[in-house]
Amino acid sequence: PALAARGHRVMTISPRYDQYKDAWDTSVAVEVKVGDSIEIVRFFHCYKRGVDRVFVDHPMFLEKVWGKTGSKIYGPKAGLDYLDNELRFSLLCQAALEAPKVLNLNSSNYFSGPYGEDVLFIANDWHTALIPCYLKSMYQSRGI
């Protein structure tokens, strides 16, 4: 919100772990390669405090809160990870890199349309650590 208040167009991207009451399905889906498979993710969106809040929708995220895990999203107990964490967060990172290009968001009076390719990514935690690697290996190598 602080960056948005200074006039920047801002998007946050998170896994969709729950049904956020204000988020709507954008009907935009992209394919990402995760391990040996191609997965389809969808994007949900809401606009709050000047920020496009985007949620990456895929069963790998929702099953962590609706399934047998008892709302434990990183591992069954502290210090122990789920075996699919690498796949889940690879999926999140790839979806995050596609979102600014594919989402046509018109929430603000000042900004509309896709963000495009001229964006700054901030990888906030270990879950997003692959973003700089993917930017260099998958995008920069293709001139994007």
Q: What is the pLDDT of residues 38-72, one digit of tens each?
A: 999 999 999 999 999 999 999 888 765 555 445 67
Determine which of 61-65, 88-92, 98-102 has the lowest per-residue pLDDT on average. 61-65
pTM across the whole model: 0.89
What is the pLDDT at residue 63? 65
CATH (domain of 131)? 3.40.50.2000
Q: Give the pLDDT confidence score for residue 89 in this predicted structure.
A: 93
User: What's the CA gap between 65 and 18, in Å, rounded?
Assistant: 7
State what percent of residues in the chain have pLDDT above 70: 94
Q: Which residue has the higher pLDDT, 100 or 74?
A: 100
Identify whether the C-beta of residue 44 lies closer than 8 Å to the C-beta of residue 50: no
Domain that residue 24 falls in: 2-140
Evaluate whether 42 touches 29 at the Cβ level (below 8 Å). Answer: yes
| Helix, coil or strand: residue 37 | strand
Q: Specify the number of domains making up the chain.
A: 1
